[in-house]
Amino acid sequence: MLPPPFPDWLWMLSKGLKRKREEEEEKEPLAVDAWWLDPGHAAVAQAPQAVASSSLFDLSVLKLHHSLQQSEPDLRHLVLVVNTLRRIQASMAPAAALPPVPSPPAAPSVADNLLASSDAALSASMASLLEDLSHIEGLSQAPQPLADEGPPGRSIGGAAPSLGALDLLGPATGCLLDDGLEGLFEDIDTSMYDNELWAPASEGLKPVPEDGPGKEEAPELDEAELDYLMDVLVGTQALERPPGPGR
Amino acid sequence: DAEIDLKKIINSALIVPIELEMGLPADIISTVEFNHTGELLATGDKGGRVVIFQREQESKNQVHRRGEYNVYSTFQSHEPEFDYLKSLEIEEKINKIRWLPQQNAAYFLLSTNDKTVKLWKVSERDKRPEGYNLKDEEGRLRDPATITTLRVPVLRPMDLMVEATPRRVFANAHTYHINSISVNSDYETYMSADDLRINLWNFEITNQSFNIVDIKPANMEELTEVITAAEFHPHHCNTFVYSSSKGTIRLCDMRASALCDRHTKFFEEPEDPSNRSFFSEIISSISDVKFSHSGRYIMTRDYLTVKVWDLNMENRPIETYQVHDYLRSKLCSLYENDCIFDKFECVWNGSDSVIMTGSYNNFFRMFDRNTKRDVTLEASRENSKPRAILKPRKVCVGGKRRKDEISVDSLDFSKKILHTAWHPSENIIAVAATNNLYIFQDKVN
């Protein structure tokens, strides 16, 4: 069993959202729901420990939230608080009773909140923040989310890192995927790509039908043009690491 | 060297605290370091300033009073910067100062903030050229027609002036915050360490550094551990150690590979199950690591203890000293007020027989490794008169408090001694208590 990717887990906790099992109850903004204080719950049977754990849990979540709101969080502090939070949570959850992470079906409402939120501080979970740091550092992974990106709002885990990369490129490119690839070229003059200098680039693509020089050709050329434009925007021609699936 | 007896420092000693305000408003001292001879003592503060003290020459007339430290040079090492890409201000606070060994008349030191390391040259000027031919006394050019003789300027003595000039700026190599710098024993290279990476520099080259350790995970979501401190071996220029937030120390050999991701040795003490708590990891996080002068041992400081490790034994330390174990039952409160994240440093004395580290309430502790005796002293204006012997302090844990004891609950956690330094060969220590610097020395009888 893999540990939960903690953007989902932490993000939900820090926003005070319920776990999946408590979905039907009312949402309290910014208050961490203490399901573990529910007397019916097995973990709460050991009352004093659970109460102590829960207040520590609240405290840790607050610390994490506060840390994430810093413009440049202290990485050591952040890592130690997160690891402590994991320990507390592990001790509160009976072995197999809880799902480690709310599964994606619960995510869409959260994802909508996430994507709709314009507050930069609130919208950065730890993973996206750290992804930002790594993107800014190397400027070489920016194309990767484009390869991995699915439909927007698929899940927080997928969306958060991509958001970081897209933010880097500028707000306009946030629309890149909504409009589809063709939308990128609506107002770009592509006549410069029609000369023979670009023949080598298009040789690697699927063969272009002879009798469809216009629109039908455009999709194949778009990929090469897209790659080239991405490189130009990012300012580098070479990638440190080739974009790969997942990891 | 004679074995240092702790009793000498406390009982028969003449303690001379020299307190200095670091300017108005007084800035919090963030690092303290003696140079290799002990002649100079450098401090860095939160405002990016470096103040260097020099020991005055011993006077034959006052044999019983050893040289005191006076201000030698003050300069602004780092200024606040703005990182436009991330829209962040980079603090000017000096995280560490390290001296280079002296090779000529000038002194060299490295100072670093979160992002940039600088090499400073501190030199004296006590002569001035006078008697220029082409300019008059006030520096105005003379009419060439009035010049009838040739004069060569001569050097004449002037009031001593100490100037600090930045000779190298090593920038743009760290994404994360620099926590350590360490000069290599080859005196040609040094390393700088941040939360996730360690870089190796050549003093002559500022636009390039080699990355020798990188613990950044491919997926930042998997980050669970950071680098907390790093230091080169005092004699073997290929060996260094770095500590982590999980209480481990890795010793690396640069000859093994270009990227030292695989350690040569791994030091970790197994967790004591009876002491296990939610805070086990936080209190095991190592805040400082120092090689002994001999190079045979390393000392680490975590939240509650100081540990001495033998380089030849990786599975546990050879000595463990409790700094303030009475805090173990207060960890929850200390977590709440973030004190549990305080980073204390530790130092060896010149002969590696005594170790020293700071605590709260302006207390600092010394441990004699041979006699196993320890003492708690206080750096405070109110509680120590000039030239008065420092009185040992004691913290009472519970029950009856004796007359001179202080109870755990009365400790002032805002008064923390994080930075101390020990003269390389004599019993002179420098203790930074927030914005005051104390220098203590034992009496020569």
pLDDT at site B96: 98
CA B267 from centre of chain:
23
In chain A, DSSP finds a helix count (H) and a strand count (E) of 10, 0
pLDDT at res. B132: 78
State whether B245 and A130 contact (CB < 8 Å): no
Of A74, A80, A131, the CB nearest to B220: A131
- CATH number for the domain harbouring residue B367: 2.130.10.10
Percent of chain A with pLDDT strictly greater than 70: 20
DSSP codes joined into one string, B8-50: HHHTS-------EE-SSSPPPEEEEEE-TTSSEEEEEETTSEE
Q: Is residue B165 part of a domain?
A: no
> Which of B84, B219, B220 to probe by mutation at the A interface, max A CB count within 10 Å?
B220
The alpha-carbon gap from B85 to the nearest alpha carbon of chain A, in Å, equals 8
**B129 within some domain:** no
Nearest chain A residue to B227 by CA: give it.
A76
Residue B142 lies in a domain: no
Residue B215, domain member (yes or no): yes
**How far, CA to CA in Å, does B232 sit from each of A228, B266, B296?**
45, 16, 13
Q: Do A77 and B341 touch (CB under 8 A)?
A: yes
Q: Which residues of A touch B176 (CB under 8 A)?
A: 75, 133
- Residue B86 — φ and ψ, nearest 5°? -100, 0
Per DSSP, the three-state class of B202 is: strand
User: In angstroms, rounded to a whole number, what is the distance separating the alpha carbons of residues A160 and A148?
Assistant: 12
Domain that includes residue B83, residue range: 9-121+170-442
Residue B281 maps to a domain: yes
B285 vs B345: CA distance, rounded Å: 12
According to DSSP, the residues that pair with B88 across neighbouring strands are: B83
Residues of A in contact with B87 (CB under 8 A): 71
**Closest chain B residue to the Cα of A245, Cα to Cα:** B219
Chain A nearest-CA distance from B443, in A, is 42
Q: Is the pLDDT of residue A133 over 60?
A: no
Q: Which residues of A touch B223 (CB under 8 A)?
A: 75, 79, 130
Give A131 to chain B, closest Cα distance, Å. 6
CA distance B350 to chain A (A): 31
B278: contact with A, CB 8 A cutoff: yes
Contact check, Cβ <8 Å, A80/B223:
no
Average pLDDT, chain A: 51
What pLDDT was estimated at residue B251? 97
Indicate the pTM of the whole model: 0.70
- Chain B closest-CA separation from residue A54 CA (Å): 12
Which residues in chain B have their CB less than 8 angstroms from residue A127's CB? 220-221
Distance CA A14, CA A62 (A): 7
Q: How many domains does chain B have?
A: 1
Is residue B356, in this structure, part of any structural domain at all? yes
pLDDT in tens, chain B (445 residues): 233 444 444 432 223 333 444 444 457 899 999 999 999 999 999 989 999 999 887 766 665 556 678 888 989 999 999 888 878 889 999 999 999 999 999 999 999 999 999 999 999 999 988 887 887 777 788 888 888 888 888 999 999 899 999 999 999 999 999 999 999 999 999 999 999 999 999 999 999 999 999 999 999 889 999 999 999 999 999 999 999 999 999 999 999 888 877 889 999 999 988 888 999 999 999 999 999 999 999 999 999 999 999 999 999 999 999 999 999 999 999 999 999 999 999 999 999 999 999 999 999 999 999 989 999 998 887 666 666 677 888 999 877 778 889 999 999 999 999 999 999 998 888 999 888 888 887 765 4
Classify residue B416: in a domain, yes or no. Answer: yes
The reply to whether B1 falls in a domain is no
- Which of A28-32, A182-186, B55-59, B127-131 holds the top average pLDDT? B127-131
